[in-house]
Chain A
Amino acid sequence: MKALPLTAGALPAVASTTARRLRAVRGLTIVIWWVLSLGCFAGIWEAAWALGWADPLLLPPPHIFLARFSDQAQAFASNDVIGEVSADSAYVALLTTIVASSLRVLAGLALGFTFSVGMGLLIRYFRPFGNLTLPTITLLAPISPIAWLPVAIFIFGIGNPPAIFMVFISLFFVMTLSTISQVDSVSRTFLNVGAIMGASRRQLFLHVIVPAILPSLFMTLRMNLFGAWMVVLVAEATGVGSGLGQIVMLARNTFNSSLSFFTMTLIGLVGFLFDVALRQVQNRVLFWVPPSAVGRL
């Protein structure tokens, strides 16, 4: 590196290059640890297979269940098709399946978020309404979403609605209670500022409380994302008739462990991408929350 003259003009340039280099180093470090982490996990598995400890029929290592990618994709094609499915249409089917499951999760998350935040706010806005509904909600909250599955099928039958309902239910009670506790813990100073500025109760909720609680509500939403994926898979496995959950069930019924692990890989990847996407949304919409508070890997 050549020596830089220490003039006022040169300093910011040096600083920005250093900062860029630091960022690049940090990014590279993260990538290296990712590769190491996944490498160790897959390596141990592969070693177990090579040493003959893991039966390739029951626990096929990654190089086996990922190798015949196009064969695996065939399983995603509609069951009605008789005979050989072309590789192209198999990939389309794979993509369709992933998108179908993702859309169910998204719809459930959107509905669940909207209704639970609305419910939590109503409970705190109209005290009698809160007194009326809160005991029931508190009692329903601990019921596992899985227990709602029969109810979902009784009410909605087969198809998208029960799966979406399941995501909704898995989110609704948790997020309603979370909204209430967030409303209760809004900074006293912010409420005082609103009052001093002459805000009515409605204005206080709209302009102070809602923006103040949004960041932590979004955090709760992200934490419940994986739970939402879980219930969607269960719903799909039992009655929707399509989606990643159904493929898992298919793998189980046909004793196809390769397909099972292949689908698990897909589920993991899609779930991870969902979290990344939500974090991006959070950074854009909730611009005032410092990135350090958003949670990083």
Chain B
Amino acid sequence: MLDTISAKAPLVVCRGVGKSWETKGGTVTALDGIDLLVDRREFVVFLGPSGCGKSTLLYLIAGLEAVTSGTITSGGLEVKVPGTDRGLIFQESSLFPWMSVGENVTFGLKLRGMKPEERRGIANELLRKVGLGDAADKRPDQLSGGMRQRAAMARALALRPEVLLLDEPFAALDVQTRSKMQDFLIEVWRDSGASMLFVTHHIDEAVGLADRVVVFTSRPGRIKSIVPVDLPRPRDPRSPEFHALSDHLTDLLRDEVDRAFAEQERVR
């Protein structure tokens, strides 16, 4: 009975989450009054203009930064510090250049004291899953950008996280690689059973991936709207339904982008 309750309970809960910084020019509010529930195995995309605080929310959930108001819980426990139940994939290449790809992938297991022989097998298995079967002994700089991000995913998956936080992970990739990586991410998501929280400012990427798209206002970041995407997967970006949704999101975003742009111009 308890199990069914916890299985149905949302995995990540944000209640009244706010984040602000004190600067010379006064208080800068990045996020304000964020209420959000993320279910287990759900794919949620944060969409908003740059500087709207969507990445900040991701870092707050990761526990790398502290909220200034409200609470965040993950799996029922309040988030205060990073935990291995929450994996994070960064925008830039984050593999350690002084380790082989295999060592990078099992770095978290090494920290837990797992023996090198054991880690080797696991590294190969994880790398095979992300399509990098023969890369264990390579150095990170011998991989392409897309391969590095797949290795970073393998590294996050090694710790069997319940939620994977992705901070514009494909932003640095070219269009073709990006599209491949999106398909690949869906496979990883299905396979791992983890929830996904994915930050992007690409509308098509949001529609292509999400169960729900959370649209942010520009600074201070608030949730403007939550748009469910009920299209069956695999999704066809040329279908009318896809277009309708991405038009809808474009409309929602337009005001915010204009506002963010005007603000940036003013600052300059």
**Taking beta carbons and an 8 Å cutoff, which residues of A are in contact with B?**
189-190, 192-193, 195-200, 203, 207-208, 211-212, 214, 286-288, 290
Contact = CB atoms under 8 A, between A and B. Distances in A.
Contact of B92 (A189, A196, A211, A212): A189
A198 B90 contact: no
B64 A195 contact: yes
Contacts of B110: 207
Given A196-B156, A208-B96, 7 more contacts: A190-B94, A190-B96, A192-B64, A192-B94, A197-B111, A203-B111, A207-B107
B82 interface: yes
13 contacts: A189-B92, A195-B81, A196-B82, A196-B88, A197-B84, A197-B108, A199-B111, A203-B111, A211-B98, A212-B98, A214-B98, A286-B98, A288-B98
Interface in B83-115: 83-84, 86-88, 90, 92, 94, 96-98, 107-108, 110-112
Interface string B145-188: 00000000001100100000000000000000000000000000
Nearest to B88: A196
Contacts, number: 57
A252 to B, nearest CB: 48
A100 to B, nearest CB: 36
A215 to B, nearest CB: 9
Given A288-B97, A288-B98, A196 B62 contact: yes
A198 B159 contact: yes
Contacts of A199: 111
Contacts of A211: 96, 98
B112 to A, nearest CB: 7
Given A211-B98, A288-B141, A198 B112 contact: yes
Contacts of B108: 197-198
A192 B111 contact: no
B259 interface: no
Given A189-B90, A207-B107, A196 B98 contact: no
Given A192-B64, A211-B98, A288-B141, A198 B111 contact: yes
A208 B92 CA distance: 17
A284 B88 CA distance: 32
User: A196, A212, A287 — which one has the most chain B CB atoms within 10 A of its CB?
Assistant: A196
B80 interface: no
B68 to A, nearest CB: 19
A166 to B, nearest CB: 33
A196 B111 contact: no
Contacts of B111: 197-200, 203, 207
B120 interface: no
B151 to A, nearest CB: 12
A57 to B, nearest CB: 56
Contact of B94 (A193, A207, A290): A193
B87 A196 contact: yes
A190 B155 CA distance: 13
A288 B64 contact: no
Contacts of B83: 198
A193 B90 contact: yes
Nearest to B165: A196
B139 interface: yes
Nearest to B139: A288
Contacts of B62: 196
A205 to B, nearest CB: 12
B43 to A, nearest CB: 20
B90 A192 contact: yes
Contacts of B94: 189-190, 192-193
A198 B98 contact: no
Contacts of A290: 141
Contacts of A192: 64, 88, 90, 94
B159 A197 contact: yes
Contacts of B97: 288
Contacts of A208: 96
Given A203-B111, A207-B111, A288-B139, A198 B96 contact: no
A211 B99 CA distance: 9
